């Protein structure tokens, strides 16, 4: 499989307006659109679709009461048809195993996706059933909810141990944590010298601390992007108005054959960004290790891996923002004080009477003891 790695200067996001989206949905799925809302996305275009209930559509037998999401994949990832098929299959696989996630809908040709010419470029187009609920980022934070993040990820990875797809063999893209060394090509966007020094420090540490040990890590198919915008939460039945639980997961665009410790580190990174506290990583670790064992040699890599994901998000975010200044989503890590958190993780030296906020194993054990 050819490597589709984003290169500086390449524009891959679909170019399409709302009227064109409505025509596309009607042509491919027979849906007359009542409401159309653009959703956040990095390189793709995603739209929430509510169909007009007064227009009969015999093409969809099981109508989604919550609506649909039309996903138009960027021109680079659209070249990799095997991976698109794998994404559809993994969603169907998890839906049959009690994991709530989007469900692909067949088009008028009976297929789960099609490739369409949009503004002169080829883009894969899919329709997914919309998953109801709130995003994790939009509900009150709590230790219990951060613990559940780890618990959910462990459960997800346990189920994915039984999933395989040839389309993921050799898949490579810039957001894979194993591609952190490729950030050398993009670091020119960081103009502040102190920030650049941090970026270079983490990239070099990843090269010598993680890359030589990759063959020793447990691997399998992972989601690849467990974050506060991809986790769905809902109120617990009979609970209070603030008693939330994680109910599902969306956006399988980054699925890959990778390493389970990478999946954990990514989830920890975004939980830390969400709360602004590095110690949150320990809560995620606590939930994860209740059902999945983390070997000591993998635990020792977590600080480097979390740092690397922060750097990856900050650098690619800065690069993408420079090329697409209207896309507010790409700067979410920077706006969430990503640089300050990176400094805390890399530079903070706790005093004798305080707990190291990156001593995640101790924090996890203390939380489990209290609970």
Say yes or no: 254 and 275 in one domain.
yes
**Over the stretch 262-301, which tens digit does the pLDDT of each residue have?**
999 999 999 999 999 999 999 999 999 999 999 999 999 9
Domain interval for residue 27: 18-129
Say yes or no: 191 and 338 in one domain.
yes
Say yes or no: 55 and 192 in one domain.
no
- Low-confidence stretches of the chain (pLDDT < 50) are 1-3
Q: Rounded distance, CA 195 to CA 208, Å?
A: 20
Q: Note whether residue 311 is domain-resident.
A: yes
Q: Note whether residue 8 is domain-resident.
A: no
Residue 225 annotated in active site = yes
Say yes or no: 107 and 203 in one domain.
no
- Give me the count of residues in the chain: 371
Q: Rounded distance, CA 52 to CA 9, Å?
A: 40
Say yes or no: 228 and 346 in one domain.
yes
Say yes or no: 320 and 252 in one domain.
yes
118: CATH:
3.30.200.20
User: What pLDDT does residue 28 have?
Assistant: 95
- Overall domain count for the chain: 2
Helix (H) / strand (E) element for 48: namely strand 45-51
User: What pLDDT does residue 237 have?
Assistant: 75
Q: Note whether residue 48 is domain-resident.
A: yes
150: CATH:
3.90.1200.10
**Residue that is last in its domain, among 129, 157, 192:** 129
Distances from the Cα of 198 to the Cαs of 48, 158, 195, 203, 310, in angstroms?
39, 34, 5, 9, 11
Say yes or no: 110 and 146 in one domain.
no
Say yes or no: 223 and 339 in one domain.
yes
% of the chain at pLDDT higher than 70: 90
Q: Where are the beta strands (DSSP E) in 227-363?
A: 231-235, 244-249, 256-259
**Residue that is last in its domain, among 129, 160, 193:** 129
Of the residues 80, 225, 251, 254, only one is catalytic, namely 225
Q: Note whether residue 242 is domain-resident.
A: yes
**Over the stretch 38-68, which tens digit does the pLDDT of each residue have?**
998 878 999 999 998 888 777 776 677 899 9
Say yes or no: 223 and 162 in one domain.
yes
User: What pLDDT does residue 1 have?
Assistant: 41
Nearest residue to 82 via CA among 192, 4, 196: 4
Say yes or no: 324 and 349 in one domain.
yes
User: What pLDDT does residue 40 have?
Assistant: 82
Q: Tokens in use for 221?
A: 């198919």
CB-based contacts of 26, cutoff 8 Å, min separation 6: 32, 33
Q: Note whether residue 84 is domain-resident.
A: yes
**Residue that is last in its domain, among 129, 157, 186:** 129
Say yes or no: 103 and 239 in one domain.
no
Q: Note whether residue 76 is domain-resident.
A: yes
User: What pLDDT does residue 328 have?
Assistant: 54
Output the average pLDDT for the chain.
90
Say yes or no: 163 and 101 in one domain.
no
Q: Note whether residue 12 is domain-resident.
A: no
Q: Note whether residue 4 is domain-resident.
A: no
């Amino acid at each position: 499989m050819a490597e589709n790695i984003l290169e500086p200067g390449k524009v891959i996001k679909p170019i399409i307006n709302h009227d064109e989206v409505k025509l596309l949905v009607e042509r491919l799925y027979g849906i007359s659109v009542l409401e159309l809302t653009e959703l956040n996305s990095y390189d793709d275009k995603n739209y929430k679709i509510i169909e007009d209930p007064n227009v009969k559509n015999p093409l969809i037998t099981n109508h989604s009461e919550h609506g649909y999401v039309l996903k138009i994949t960027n021109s680079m990832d659209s070249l990799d048809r095997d991976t698109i098929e794998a994404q559809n299959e993994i969603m169907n696989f998890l839906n049959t195993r009690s994991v709530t996630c989007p469900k692909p809908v067949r088009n008028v040709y009976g297929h789960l996706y099609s490739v369409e010419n949009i503004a002169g470029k080829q883009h894969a187009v899919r329709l997914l059933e919309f998953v109801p609920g709130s995003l994790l980022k939009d509900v009150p934070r709590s230790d219990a909810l951060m613990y559940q993040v780890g618990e959910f990820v462990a459960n997800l990875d346990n189920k994915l141990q039984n999933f395989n797809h040839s389309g993921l063999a050799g898949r490579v893209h810039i957001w894979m944590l194993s591609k952190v060394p490729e950030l050398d090509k993009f670091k020119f966007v960081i103009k502040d010298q102190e920030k650049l020094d941090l970026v270079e420090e983490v990239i070099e540490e990843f090269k010598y601390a993680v890359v030589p040990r990759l063959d020793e890590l447990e691997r399998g198919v992972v989601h690849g992007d467990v974050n506060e915008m991809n986790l769905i939460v809902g109120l617990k039945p009979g609970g209070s108005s603030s008693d939330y639980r994680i109910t599902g997961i969306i956006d399988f665009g980054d699925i890959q054959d990778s390493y389970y410790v990478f999946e954990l580190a990514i989830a920890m990174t975004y939980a830390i960004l969400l709360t602004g506290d590095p110690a949150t990583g320990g809560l995620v670790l606590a939930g994860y290790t209740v059902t999945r064992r983390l070997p000591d040699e993998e635990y020792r890599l977590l600080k480097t891996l979390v740092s690397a994901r922060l750097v990856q998000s900050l650098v690619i975010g800065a690069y993408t923002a420079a090329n697409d200044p209207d896309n507010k989503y790409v700067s979410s890590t920077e706006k969430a004080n990503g640089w300050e958190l990176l400094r805390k993780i890399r530079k903070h030296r706790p005093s004798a009477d305080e707990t190291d906020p990156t001593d995640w194993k101790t924090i996890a054990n203390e939380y489990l003891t209290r609970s």
